[in-house]
Amino acid sequence: MVKKHKAKKEFETLCAENTGAEILSRPHQLPIYPTAAFCFDSLEEGIEIFANQPGVHVYSRYGNPTVEAVASKIAKLEVMGSDLPSYGLLTSSGMAAIFLGLDSILRTGDIILTQPILYGGTSELFEKIFQKNGIKIINTDLNDNKNVITLLKNNKNIRAIFIETPVNPTLEIVDLLNICKLAKLHKVLTVVDNTFSTPYLTQPLQFGADIVIHSTTKYLHGHGASTGGAVITSNRKLFYEKLWVSYKLLGCIASPFEAWLIDIGLKTLPQRMNVQCQNAFKLAQFFNSHPKIIKVNYPGLNTHSTHRIAKKQMKRFGAMLSIEIKGNLIQVKRILKKLKLCTIAPTLGETSTLILHPASMSHLKTPKHIKEQQGIKDNLVRISVGLENINDLMNDWDYALSQ
């Protein structure tokens, strides 16, 4: 008779073993899976699973149920209303998402064609990491059709066009349909940072973009309590053969808890964006008629240089704007100190109104001559408009400006 093995369990063994949860009903909210690894019932099963990755979960750097669920949700939002497939990865930050999206498709000797002004961190990434690795950067006005065509024809090593729309912090809108058409004609991939717009306002994949990037830290989460990023594509081959491979090896995956926080924020994205866009439009109109304001950068205004493009490709005009205040840096500092309802912080897209001084903060590392060319002056202030009562916001600014 074969003796049945029954492992004896002492106190220490019971403490050390993994706790098995018996789930009798479906959870109402997305569960958090804070586990580094997943178990196999046999060596044969483990061999089979490892041989067919990505697929069944093996290790959280390869993929985690919580993280994948949120990545999939964002990917679906980017193609909502179309027949496009979508694939998503959730990263540890927006910068990690930009690096992953571009590094996956570039090699030494390639060129990135992009705008003169980008988020300061993106410009620094291009200069200090990509250029160091032999990737050249060419900057141009992406709405200058003739010049873009010339650059694409004369630079056969252009591998990617990186687009930020609206542009941070001057809010120009890049014509996605036009750029994506030109890119496809020249067999160049387009990578679009859609952080400011979110898929609620703009869906770049539906204009022909190849990869969409997000800093989920901003509007997608929307509450300032989570840091993360997302990389989305409709191209299955690009996803499995390039993006996921780099994702696995770089180890830039979001944590399950951060993913869970992003999911909580996503539940109110449309409602938040509707109110914030409405507030931004009214605040822009207020600034546009204020004697202490020289210029208002908001794509919803008829006077904005790219209003026509914004009207064509955005559902609403966004909740970001920037203003040039009449006065020098010392006077601008005095005005900002008088504000009671606006917080100075190096982020955006939260429920409260946030302000930032681009020249000395987000674009500190941008060369001075480029800042001056692109309108990033000492009197420029960027505003991320929140959910406050718009009359309170206008009164707050009116008081500060009058001082």
Q: Is 193 a catalytic residue?
A: yes
Lowest mean pLDDT segment, chosen from 12-21, 262-271, 377-386: 12-21
CA torsion, ordered 43, 45, 48, 54, to nearest 10 deg: -120
Average pLDDT over residues 243-272: 97
Query: Which SS3 state, helix, strand or coil, does residue 312 take?
Result: helix
Q: Is the confidence at residue 127, as pLDDT, over 80?
A: yes
pLDDT recorded at residue 2 = 60
CATH class of 43-266: alpha beta
59 vs 106 pLDDT, higher one: 106
Cα-Cα end-to-end distance for the chain: 95
* Better-predicted residue by pLDDT, 372 or 388: 388
269-402 CATH: 3.90.1150.10
User: CA of 192: how far to CAs of 160, 308, 326, 334, in Å?
Assistant: 10, 19, 33, 37
Stretch 52-72: mean pLDDT, rounded?
92
Output the pLDDT for position 5. Answer: 65
Q: Is the pLDDT of residue 8 over 80?
A: no
How many CB atoms are located within 10 Å of the residue 306 CB? 20
Which pLDDT band, with edges at 50, 70 and 90, does 102 fall under? very high
pLDDT at 149: 98
Instruction: Catalytic residue, from 159, 218, 242, 371: name it.
Output: 218
Tell me what pLDDT residue 23 has: 79
Q: Annotated catalytic residue: which of 193, 210, 263, 378?
A: 193
Is 337 noted as a catalytic residue in this protein? no
Strands 189-193 and 211-215: parallel
pLDDT digits (tens, 9 = 90+) for 150-206: 999 999 999 999 999 999 999 999 999 999 999 999 999 999 999 999 999 999 999
92 pLDDT band, cuts 50/70/90, is very high
The C-alpha torsion from 374 through 311 and 307 to 74, rounded to 10°, is -20
- Cis ω for the linkage preceding 291 (within 30 of 0): no
Q: What is the pLDDT of residue 40?
A: 87
Average pLDDT, the chain: 94
Among the options 33, 87, 119, 298, which is catalytic? 119
Beta-carbon contacts of 372 under 8 Å, excluding residues fewer than 6 positions away, are none
Q: Is the pLDDT of residue 357 over 90?
A: yes
The segment(s) of the chain belonging to CATH 3.40.640.10 are 43-266
**Residue 9 vs residue 77, higher pLDDT:** 77
**For residue range 297-337, what is the model confidence (pLDDT) as tens digits?**
999 999 999 999 999 999 999 999 999 999 999 999 999 99
The answer, yes or no, to whether residue 113 has pLDDT greater than 90, is yes
Which residue spans of the chain are classified as CATH 3.90.1150.10?
Answer: 269-402
Question: What pLDDT score was predicted for residue 370?
Answer: 78
pLDDT at 290: 97
Give the Cα separation of 374 and 117 in Å (integer): 7
Catalytic pick from 59, 61, 76, 326? 61
Given this model, what pLDDT does residue 1 score?
A: 57
Catalytic residue flag (residue 144): no
Residues 326-341: tens digit of each pLDDT: 999 999 999 999 999 9
Strands 111-114, 158-164: pairing kind: parallel
The residue ranking higher by pLDDT, 367 or 179, is 179
- Please return the burial class of 7, using the count of CB atoms within 10 Å of its CB with bins 0-12, 13-18 and 19+: exposed
If DSSP states are collapsed to H, E and C, what string results for 110-152? CEEEECCCCCHHHHHHHHHHHCCCCCEEEECCCCCHHHHHHHH
Instruction: For residue 119, indicate whether it is catalytic.
Output: yes
Neighbouring CB atoms inside 10 A of 305's CB total 14
Q: DSSP labels for 214-253?
A: EETTTTTT-SSS---EEEEES-HHHIIIIIHHHHHHHT-B
pLDDT of residue 374: 76
Q: How many CB atoms lie within 10 A of CB 64?
A: 25
> How high is the pLDDT of residue 3?
64
